[in-house]
A and B are shown apart, each in its own frame.
Chain A
Amino acid sequence: MTLKTEPFVVNIGPQHPSTHGVFRLRTTLDGEVIVDVEPIFGYLHRGIEKLAEERTYGGIIPLTDRLDYLASMSNNMGYCMAVEKLAGIEVPERAEYLRVILAELQRIASHLIGVGAFFNDLGAMMTPIVYMIREREKIVDLFEMLCGQRLTYNFMRFGGLSQDIPEEFLPALRKFLDQMPRFIDEYDQLLMDNEIVLARSKDVGVLPAETAINISASGPVLRGSGVKWDIRKADPYSVYDRFEFDIPTGTAGDAYDRYRVKVEEMRQSLRIIEQAVAQLPGGPFRSKVPFLVRPPVGEAYAHIESARGDLGFYLVSDNSIAPYRFHVRAPSLINLTALREMLIGWKVADAIIIFGSIDIVMGEVDR
């Protein structure tokens, strides 16, 4: 005898601990199985792109902190690179190296939260994320030493950095670099071979490489599917062409691969920082830039590999002190479009894991 069933609509979010912000998933369920998904976002919309049109170029830097609030340094860097391209500002060597060090530290900090939150969603309630937040705290301490804030750094300026690093920064960074590989090994020992983790995340939420390319996904989501694509190698910016590092990729494109890619990326970031610290030159930390930047009429686009993927900033100038148009290519938003492909056919409990594995930040999605 077969029971007669009918689809049932369940809203996950906007306020839900596993949606990583205010995000709503309208799922249509057949029993436990998801038959249709409609992601609804816009609950954190602050109109940053429009606000930017009314502010001076320098005043937009604090706004970019609030896009991807887990990786403010990367956002600062991408925006400053776009303005430097637009106005033709030179960046000194020392500033470029320091930017690379900070961007890579930020990638580690962001991935620690990404991986920790993924395990939180998976049901490893609190233990992994608390260990990872402890290590992130060390990075946040270093950033606090530089710029006095712990989340919204507002540290980079056009043509360099706002201030030089204090003398106590490099010894502290050295200590961090010595400690961190051991902690990453410890996380692997805790989680990598855990049978529950394997059973729940292997072959769950498979994103085929072709689909990932078609929706122009980037970052760990794309690399987890086995596509070797990293802006740091594909379109080298700053001084990334001077460092040796690998691009870790997954094979199956499942939630487990996306987690592994993030962990391997942390190791590669440590490798880049080691090389950058060894090569760090002296000299000025900022080139002479006027207080109000007036770029010539034109447009510029600069993109970087942020923790979440290909983060791009597009600016149009009309030769005034504020941009005519400011647009952000947010990797989280574009990775989010892969969600529907991944979720259909899985159960609700798996949906939470798949959503956690793509590691989005709502501040960037809604802007």
Chain B
Amino acid sequence: MKFDHFGIGIAKGMAVTLKNLFRRPVTVQYPEQRLNTSRRIRGNELVWSKEKCTGCATCAKACPQGVINIETSANPDNNKYEVKKYEVDTGYCIFCALCVEACPFNALYMGYDYERARYRRGELVQSRDMMTETPEKHVSGYFFPDRAASLPLQTLLVEKITEEE
């Protein structure tokens, strides 16, 4: 194959590489430096509200993986259901958040925290006590815009490396 100007194309390409050499790096050193995640992050530390949950099991029906295990019993005193057991096996969970969208009482939230790696599969099962909503738990704004508004803004790469021109 014949070229009109041999070497010009490679020289032009090298100019681009040189330009990129002086750009600011876009990567961060993860455990030390952290970026703000999305306000709607579907983090793997699910939060469950004990007060709001009525035990209707809509979340379990909505779950495509069938990982929500809920057991209820009727309370004869106030004619309400009591949640005996509420477990999510996050080893099988795909974090689609369809359960959060399905809940008619807004009792289930995705977590804002995402570092929940464990050494054993059994430890991935989140029990009722682990998920119960407390003031210390960070709740994601997924499907709850009013909660999202109070979370820090997401770090965006488009804003981070705008070139100086």
Q: List residues of chain A with CB under 8 Å of any chain B CB.
A: 55-56, 58-63, 127, 131, 134, 137-138, 141-142, 144-149, 152, 154, 162-164, 166, 168, 172, 175-176, 179, 186, 189-199, 202-203, 291
Q: How far is the CA of A203 from the CA of B1 in the complex (A)?
A: 10
Q: How far is the CA of A74 from the CA of B63 in the complex (A)?
A: 23
Binding-face segment, B36-44, B72-80, B126-134: B36-44
Interface centre among B20, B38, B62, B153 (most CB of A within 10 A): B38
Q: How far is the CA of A299 from the CA of B158 in the complex (A)?
A: 43
The answer to whether B40 touches A291, judged by C-beta atoms less than 8 angstroms apart, is: no
Q: How far is the CA of A197 from the CA of B157 in the complex (A)?
A: 30
Query: Per a CB cutoff under 8 Å, which of B40, B64, B95 touches A55?
Result: B64
The answer to whether B7 touches A179, judged by C-beta atoms less than 8 angstroms apart, is: no
Contacts A138-B157, A141-B154, A175-B158: A148 and B9 contacting too (C-beta < 8 A)? no
Chain B residues near A202 (CB-CB < 8 A): 1
Contacts A137-B157, A141-B154, A148-B41: A131 and B20 contacting too (C-beta < 8 A)? yes
Chain B residues near A199 (CB-CB < 8 A): 1
Chain A residues near B159 (CB-CB < 8 A): 172, 175
Of the A-B pairs whose beta carbons lie under 8 Å apart in the complex, a sample of 16, sorted by A's number, is A56-B64, A59-B63, A138-B158, A145-B154, A145-B156, A148-B40, A148-B42, A152-B94, A154-B98, A190-B12, A193-B9, A193-B12, A194-B10, A194-B12, A203-B1, A291-B58
Q: Does residue B108 face the partner (Cβ distance < 8 Å to A)?
A: no
Query: 1/0 contact trace for B24-60 toward A, CB 8 Å?
Result: 0010000000000111111000000000000000100
Q: List residues of chain B with CB under 8 Å of any chain A CB.
A: 1, 3, 6-10, 12-13, 15-17, 19-20, 26, 37-42, 58, 62-64, 94-98, 101-102, 110, 140, 142-143, 145, 148, 153-154, 156-159, 162
Q: Is the interface of A mostly helix, strand, loop or mixed?
A: helix
Query: Which single residue of chain A is at the shortest CB-CB distance from B153?
Result: A168
Contacts A154-B96, A163-B143, A195-B6: A149 and B42 contacting too (C-beta < 8 A)? yes
The answer to whether B154 touches A144, judged by C-beta atoms less than 8 angstroms apart, is: yes
The answer to whether A127 touches B9, judged by C-beta atoms less than 8 angstroms apart, is: no
Q: A148-B97, A154-B97 are in contact. List 5 more A-B contacts (CB 8 A).
A: A163-B142, A172-B156, A189-B15, A192-B9, A202-B1
Q: How far is the CA of A329 from the CA of B31 in the complex (A)?
A: 42
Contacts A144-B154, A148-B42, A202-B1: A59 and B64 contacting too (C-beta < 8 A)? yes
Chain B residues near A194 (CB-CB < 8 A): 9-10, 12-13
Q: How far is the CA of A44 from the CA of B1 in the complex (A)?
A: 40
Query: Which single residue of chain A is at the shortest CB-CB distance from B142?
Result: A148
The answer to whether A62 touches B38, judged by C-beta atoms less than 8 angstroms apart, is: no
Q: How far is the CA of A56 from the CA of B62 in the complex (A)?
A: 8
Query: Which single residue of chain A is at the shortest CB-CB distance from B26?
Result: A134
The answer to whether B158 touches A176, judged by C-beta atoms less than 8 angstroms apart, is: yes
The answer to whether A148 touches B26, judged by C-beta atoms less than 8 angstroms apart, is: no
A176 to chain B, nearest CB (A): 5
Contacts A190-B13, A199-B1: A144 and B157 contacting too (C-beta < 8 A)? no
Chain A residues near B7 (CB-CB < 8 A): 195
The answer to whether B110 touches A148, judged by C-beta atoms less than 8 angstroms apart, is: yes
The answer to whether A145 touches B1, judged by C-beta atoms less than 8 angstroms apart, is: no
Query: Which single residue of chain B is at the shortest CB-CB distance from A194?
Result: B9
The answer to whether B98 touches A59, judged by C-beta atoms less than 8 angstroms apart, is: yes
Q: How far is the CA of A190 from the CA of B20 in the complex (A)?
A: 11
The answer to whether A193 touches B8, judged by C-beta atoms less than 8 angstroms apart, is: yes
Contacts A62-B96, A194-B9: A163 and B17 contacting too (C-beta < 8 A)? no
Chain B residues near A190 (CB-CB < 8 A): 12-13, 16-17
The answer to whether A189 touches B62, judged by C-beta atoms less than 8 angstroms apart, is: no
Contacts A131-B20, A172-B159: A189 and B95 contacting too (C-beta < 8 A)? no
Query: Which single residue of chain A is at the shortest CB-CB distance from B6?
Result: A195
Chain B residues near A163 (CB-CB < 8 A): 40, 142-143, 145
Chain B residues near A138 (CB-CB < 8 A): 156-158
